[in-house]
Amino acid sequence: MESNLDIANVCILAGKIMLESGAETHRVEDTMNRIAAVYGAENAQSYASPTAIHFSVDFADVTHFIRISNRSTDLHKVAEVNHISRRIASESIPLKESMILLETLEKRRLTFSKWIQVVAATLLSGCFAIMFGGMMPDFLPAAIVGGAGFACMLIVFHFIRIRFVAVFFASVLVGALAVTAIETGVGLELDKIVIGAVMPLVPGLPITIALRDLLAGHLVAGISKGIESALTAVAIGAGVAIILAFY
């Protein structure tokens, strides 16, 4: 029988990686409970919120707590933790080996580099401008504006770890560059350029995760994530509106 502390450490580390990578809270809790059950803790109790994890090996056992300060979107890591949990269940991996696998995964950086993200945002912005009814001459200005806005968001977020602020400044830049493109005759339709350029900033995945948590009955996590996504959307609108108000 494995010690309760070791079981808790493995389960909490798995939950921590998933929550920091943007997983739904109900998926985090389910993964932790499944891992605990493999190691003999049939009555494990877990509670995950967007900013914290509580875990107990049994109903009346000591409760362990860890705070989640940094959150991002890395679905590759979420998938890797799920893969490890399935291996633990099917192959009966020893507890120490499971801890090593999770610690190795935690240190890995699986997200794309910043410049690749900017390039992807650039191409997406141009495509979204066309998709929303823009003309072909709007593709290039929307792509440039969207790429510059996304790069601005990454730079600001590097210094000010508040996504709301980073998205706001990025939206201000998007609005200013879009107006400049129209004034110089590079683009044709201002609204299509702006819409295409802000799409990489829109919190589409967090909104989806918030809805999935709400549907799974995790009301606290779903509402908090939904409000966070709504604030990000407000920041996008406010940044663009400030520029257009003077246009």
Do 80 and 139 belong together in one domain?
no
Do 131 and 232 belong together in one domain?
yes
Domain stops at, among 61, 87, 107: 107
Do 74 and 120 belong together in one domain?
no
Rounded Cα distance between 170 and 176, Å, is 10
Do 185 and 205 belong together in one domain?
yes
Per-residue pLDDT of the chain (247 residues; tens, 9 = 90+): 568 888 999 999 999 999 999 899 999 999 999 999 999 888 899 999 988 999 999 888 889 999 998 888 888 999 999 999 999 988 888 889 999 999 999 888 877 889 999 999 999 999 999 999 988 999 999 999 999 999 999 999 989 888 889 999 999 999 999 999 999 888 889 999 999 999 999 988 889 889 989 988 888 889 988 998 999 999 999 999 999 888 7
Residue 2: its pLDDT value, please? 64
Do 132 and 235 belong together in one domain?
yes
Q: Let me know how long the chain is.
A: 247
Give the residue from 152, 183, 184, 191 showing the smallest Cα distance to 168: 152
Crossing angle between the packed helical segments 4-20 and 95-107, to the nearest 10 degrees:
20
Do 240 and 191 belong together in one domain?
yes
Q: What token pair was written down for 131?
A: 């998709």
Number of domains in the chain: 2
Q: What token pair was written down for 104?
A: 């190795």
Burial of residue 142 (number of CB atoms within 10 Å: 0-12, 13-18, 19+): buried
Do 127 and 42 belong together in one domain?
no
Rounded Cα distance between 247 and 243, Å, is 7
Give the residue from 239, 154, 138, 247 showing the smallest Cα distance to 198: 239
Tokens 């966070």 correspond to 228
Rounded Cα distance between 87 and 98, Å, is 9
Q: What residues make up the domain containing 71? A: 4-107
The residues with which 67 forms a beta bridge, in sequence order, are: 52
Domain stops at, among 73, 107, 141: 107
Edge-to-edge strand order for the sheet containing 52-56? 45-49, 52-56, 63-67
Domain stops at, among 90, 107, 124: 107
| Residue 11 near residue 29 (C-beta atoms within 8 A) | no
Rounded Cα distance between 55 and 66, Å, is 9
Phi/psi zone of residue 185: left (φ > 0), alpha (ψ -120 to 50 degrees), beta? left
The residues with which 54 forms a beta bridge, in sequence order, are: 47, 65
Question: Does pTM surpass 0.75?
Answer: yes
Do 81 and 195 belong together in one domain?
no
Do 193 and 131 belong together in one domain?
yes
